[in-house]
Amino acid sequence: MAGDGCFVNHVDRVTELDAGSSAITARNIAFDPFRPRPRTTCSTVYTAGSLPVKSKWIEHKGKKIFYLDFSGFGYDVSALEAEMKEANPIVCAQPENSTLVITDVRGTVASKEAMPLYKAVAAKTKPYARKSAVVGITGYRKVLLQAVAIFSGRSFGSFTDLDEAKDWVVEED
């Protein structure tokens, strides 16, 4: 019987929980880095499609902004990737050149594993974003943001404060 989409992530394997008619059984399956994996910890299991998405629509000065909340993931690239997979379709469903976007990366490490994810998100959402701000860019991360901007062909406002980013993104050009 196929699994119900619940996973517990481990370093070298993934345990898939199979909810049969009356019993739950676990079986080890091969680790596949391209298989969609929800964010988990050793004590947390999420059902596929029921991930708690942090990203959301917000309003500031009467304008709608999509807040990509990639903050607080630390070194957890799997959780970051899961959030991106849930949030990106929302941006990409908008009309071209229409969406005001704020991406919050405070408390999330810009590692060599995370950088390709940031680049891919920026490139994929480019046609839909009218104006974009990034919150949490300090120190060496400014150089990394420039690399993402060059790769994706986008420009970003860089801020340390969310309120400043909100004010900037809603300003008329």
CATH number of the domain enclosing 85? 3.30.750
Read off the pLDDT of each residue in 27-41 and give the average, rounded to a whole number: 42
| pLDDT-wise least confident of 64-68, 100-104, 123-127, 162-166 | 123-127
Quote the percentage of the chain above a pLDDT of 70.
69
165: three-class secondary structure by DSSP? helix
Question: Using CA atoms, how far apart are residues 95 and 162, in angstroms rounded to an integer?
Answer: 25
| pLDDT-wise least confident of 5-9, 72-76, 78-82 | 5-9
pLDDT grade for 55, boundaries at 50, 70 and 90: very high
> If we measure between CA atoms, which residue out of 121, 128, 51 comes closest to residue 86?
51
**For the chain, what is the largest distance between any 2 Cα atoms, rounded to a whole number of angstroms?**
60
Residue 130: predicted pLDDT: 93
Kindly report the backbone phi and psi dihedral angles of residue 44, in degrees, each rounded to the nearest multiple of 5, phi listed first. Answer: -125, 135
Residue 173: predicted pLDDT: 56
pLDDT grade for 52, boundaries at 50, 70 and 90: low
Residue 76: predicted pLDDT: 93
User: Domain residues for 129?
Assistant: 56-170
Neighbours of 74 (CB within 10 A): 12
Residues 60 and 42 reside in one and the same domain: no
Residues 67 and 136 reside in one and the same domain: yes
Q: Could you tell me the sign of the dihedral formed by the alpha carbons of 139, 162, 118, 52, in that order?
A: positive
Average pLDDT score, the chain: 74
Residue 96 covered by a domain? yes
Residues 40 and 88 reside in one and the same domain: no
pLDDT tens digits, one per residue of 119-164: 888 889 989 999 999 998 878 777 777 877 777 778 788 899 999 9
User: What one-character DSSP code corresponds to residue 70?
Assistant: -
More confident residue, 75 or 15: 75
More confident residue, 107 or 32: 107
Residue 1 covered by a domain? no
Residues 143 and 122 reside in one and the same domain: yes
